[in-house]
Amino acid sequence: MGRRVVLIRHGDDPCDDRVMTYFRSRNIEPEIVRPFRGEPLGDVDSSVAASVVYGGPFSVAETNEYPFLLEEHRWIEQCIEQRVPFLGICQGAQSLAHTLGAKCGPRPGKPHEFGYYAIRPTPPGKAFFPDELVVAQAHFHEFELPDGAELLAESDTFPRQAMRYGDTAFGLQFHPEVTRSGFRRWQDSDWAWYGRPGAQSRSTQDALGDIHDQRQHVWFMGFLDMLFGSIRVRETAEDEPATELAAGLRSRAFTSTLRPRHNRVTCDSETLDMSKSRDPGLMAAEREGSLLCLDEDAS
C-alpha cells in the first residue's frame, strides 16, 4: 500500500484542522497541494494511500474560469478508479459529485447554512451517523446525488449532506474538520455570511458551537478511522511497522447515539431544547482511554 496522504486545499489558512490532527496523531505527515496556486497534482499512482479535497470558494462547474479544477476532477476520478480512500469536504464533496456527472450549485432563493446545524442519517446512513448530529456549516451550494451513489445524511434546508460512492469515496457537505478556532477565523472573515437567508447570528453560532463541537470532533475522528484506519505509517527506526489504531473506536463512533450535554440554550430570542445526557458510548470510551485525539481546541 502507498504511504502518501495527499490533501488538496483551496486557501492559505493555517493547517490546524482535524484531518491534519488525525493523520499526525498516527505519525503521518500529509502532503499539501494547492492547485489553485499552480501547484501540480500529478497522477494517482501506487504511492498514494489516501486523499482529501477540502472546501473552498470555487464553483466546481466553472472549469473555464478555474481550469485547475479540471486537474482536481481528474485526480478524484483516478482515486475512484484505483479505490484509493477519498474524502471530499464541502466544495470537495461537490467536486466528487461533479466528477460523477451530477449537477452542483445554489438552491432556489440561495439559502445559506453558516453556523451549526443538525443533520440526520438516511436509512443507509445509520451505519455512519448517530440519529442526529449538529455540525459546522459554511455553504450555499449543494450537490445532486450522482447515479450509483448512496445518500447518507440530510438536513432541513439541504437534503443532501453526505454521500458515498462505492466503499472508498465519501462526500460531506458540512465541515467537521473545522475546530472552534478555525470557525472563529471564518466568523471574522470578509465573506462571513451574516444576514443571508438561513445564516445564524454570531451569538447563535457561538452558543451552538460551545455545546456541539466536541461531539462533532469525536464523531469525525471515528469516521476518519473508518475510512483511513487501515493506512500504516512509515516504519520506525527499528524497522518495525507501526500498528493500526484499535478498531473499537470505529464501531463505537457509529453505533452509539451521541447526545448533547446541555438541556437548553438561549441565544438571541431563540430557545433551543437539548438533552441533558452525555453519550454513554463516549463516556465508556473516555474511561478506556481509546478516544483518538480529544480536541484540545474545544474552548
pLDDT tens digits, one per residue of 204-228: 999 999 999 999 999 999 999 999 9
Q: Whole-number mean pLDDT of the chain?
A: 83
Distance of alpha carbon 6 from alpha carbon 49, whole angstroms:
8
The pTM score is: 0.82
Cα distances (angstroms) measured from residue 267 to each of 111, 175, 198: 21, 22, 16
- Checking if the pLDDT of 1 tops 50, the result is yes
- Checking if the pLDDT of 5 tops 60, the result is yes
Are the beta carbons of 33 and 39 closer than 8 angstroms?
A: yes
C-alpha cell at 158: 439541504
Please state the φ and ψ torsions of residue 36, each to the nearest 5 degrees.
Answer: -65, -20
Are the beta carbons of 72 and 8 closer than 8 angstroms?
A: yes
Find all residues with CB under 8 Å of 178, minimum gap 6, and list them.
17, 18, 136, 138, 186
In words, the CATH class of domain 4-288 is alpha beta
pLDDT tens digits, one per residue of 39-66: 999 999 999 999 999 999 999 999 999 9
Which letter does DSSP use for residue 26 in this model?
Answer: T
How many CA atoms lie within 13 Å of 171's alpha carbon, on the beta-carbon side?
Answer: 32
Boundaries of every domain in the chain: 4-288
Distance of alpha carbon 124 from alpha carbon 103, whole angstroms:
22
